[in-house]
Amino acid sequence: MKLNLNPVYHAFWGLLILGLAACQTAASPLTDSEKTAVYGTAIQQVITVDDTFGGTLNPPVVYIINQTDDSVGDPDTEQLPPEMLSPQMQNEITASLSNLEAKVVWVNGRADVTIDPGSGALVDEGVLVTLGNIHPQEDGSLLLPTSIYIAGLAAGGQTYILERVNGQWEITGTTGVRWIS
């Protein structure tokens, strides 16, 4: 068997293999552990920074809807079908929020929380968080629609951009569209 020692031949195959590996990395699905980290990061951000009160709200209870809803963020984000977050993922996300002073309660939807008819606020001064689906991007970043509901005229949502920084998922921005009521 005769070996091809042409450097152009080897460079071509080397670049092809590297290119395929890079495509696989960007398109690889996230593990449940990575999804947990992404969701936990978004919940921390919406509770402690983007709570529509300038990050000062500090609610005693955080209700989190256990099913995704892409409509809560940027309307230009692809709208995927809702997904249920598994009980294991809910437990892991709750554990990742242990630094919050709030009690974390998972609910099926808004109908599971008690809202004062006069003020539109949750009766226990809690907040309701809704998460969208995680949308992997070609550049390796992620988009995640996220919203918070405090009362009828105290709610907000956006689609976060997350990137892996030093091995951790961090919010590096939003898609630009934010809503506040």
The percent of residues above 90 in pLDDT, for the chain, comes to 75
**Cα 65 versus chain centre, distance:** 13
> Phi and psi for 138 in degrees, rounded to 5?
-60, -30
Does residue 1 form part of some domain?
Answer: no
In the prediction, which pLDDT does 23 show? 41
Residue 145 pLDDT greater than 60, yes or no: yes
Q: Are 148 and 48 in contact (CB under 8 A)?
A: no
Does residue 13 form part of some domain?
Answer: no
In the prediction, which pLDDT does 19 show? 46
Does residue 123 form part of some domain?
Answer: yes
Q: Check which CATH number belongs to the domain holding 161 and give it.
A: 3.10.450
Does residue 17 form part of some domain?
Answer: no
Does residue 48 form part of some domain?
Answer: yes
DSSP codes of every residue in 76-132: TS--PPP-BPPHHHHHHHHHHTTTSSSEEEEESSGGGS-B-TTT-SBTTS-EEEEE-
Sign of CA dihedral 84, 88, 50, 120: positive
Averaged pLDDT for residues 163-171: 96
Q: What is the pLDDT of residues 1-25, one digit of tens each?
A: 555 555 554 444 444 444 444 443 4
Is this prediction's pTM over 0.85?
A: no
Does residue 101 form part of some domain?
Answer: yes
Q: What is the pLDDT of residues 66-125, one digit of tens each?
A: 999 999 999 888 999 999 999 999 999 999 999 999 999 999 999 999 999 999 999 999
Q: Are 93 and 42 in contact (CB under 8 A)?
A: no
Does residue 47 form part of some domain?
Answer: yes
Does residue 14 form part of some domain?
Answer: no
Number of domain units in the chain: 1
- Residue 84's domain spans which residues? 30-180
* Amino acid present at 38: V
The percent of residues above 70 in pLDDT, for the chain, comes to 85
Averaged pLDDT for residues 51-79: 93
